[in-house]
Amino acid sequence: MTKDDLVYGLASFIVGFIISFLVVNWLNRSAPGPTIAQNAQQSGVQNKQLPPGHPPIDGEPAAGGGVSAEGVPIPPIGIPIKIQGPRIEDENKNIRELKGLPADQLQSIMQHFAKSLGVDCSYCHIQGAFEKDDKPAKLMARKMIKMVADMNKNYLGGAVTCFTCHQGSLKPKA
């Protein structure tokens, strides 16, 4: 087997692969599949679409955005919900992204954040001064909360939580 034979064989393989790719794509040019928003609207979100270990999400978007480690339902971020009683910002200082949620849900929401990222409170907060913005992680968390709220409000109807991408790891797995 000469060098020319190897080059010819490799070139033939590459050309064949490209032609096969083009033919398969040309044959499968049917109508595009449903968008993410259309999928989310069809009969709610189903647990089989969620990553392994993700807390269950009900089909009703306003029913919950997940479940805390203690089994307490967490309101979905970015989806309007009706609440009675005080709101988070009424009882806590320097609340920006979680405004409008029930005050009694703050601990469950924060525990969900911590579990979803595999960290503890001190990763984002200064112990004893939770309202301070001295840690870069807290500022990044606010950006991520905005992103999740936008996805839930505009595209996915409450299906996204921190766990969807992070899955218990500081660096997103998805």
pLDDT tens, position by position, 25-48: 777 765 555 555 555 555 454 444
- Sign, CA dihedral 163-152-40-32, equals negative
Say what the pLDDT of residue 72 is.
Answer: 53
With a pLDDT cut of 90, the percent of the chain lying above it is: 29
Closest CA to 106 of 87, 122, 124, 125: 87
Which residues of 16-173 form beta strands (DSSP E)?
A: 66-67, 73-74
Say what the pLDDT of residue 46 is.
Answer: 44
> What would the mean pLDDT of 70-92 be, rounded to a whole number?
72
Q: pTM of this prediction?
A: 0.55
The set of residues, in sequence order, having a beta carbon less than 8 Å from that of 116 and lying 6+ positions away, is 161, 162, 163, 166, 167, 168
> Locate tokens 């080059």: which residue?
7
With a cut of 60, say whether residue 160 has pLDDT above it: yes
With a cut of 90, say whether residue 73 has pLDDT above it: no
Alpha carbon separation from 16 to 19, 46, 130, 149 (Å, rounded): 5, 40, 62, 46
The mean of the pLDDT values for the chain is 78
Count H helices and E strands in the chain, helices first: 6, 2
Res. 137 pLDDT band, cuts 50 70 90? very high
Say what the pLDDT of residue 78 is.
Answer: 61
With a cut of 80, say whether residue 69 has pLDDT above it: no
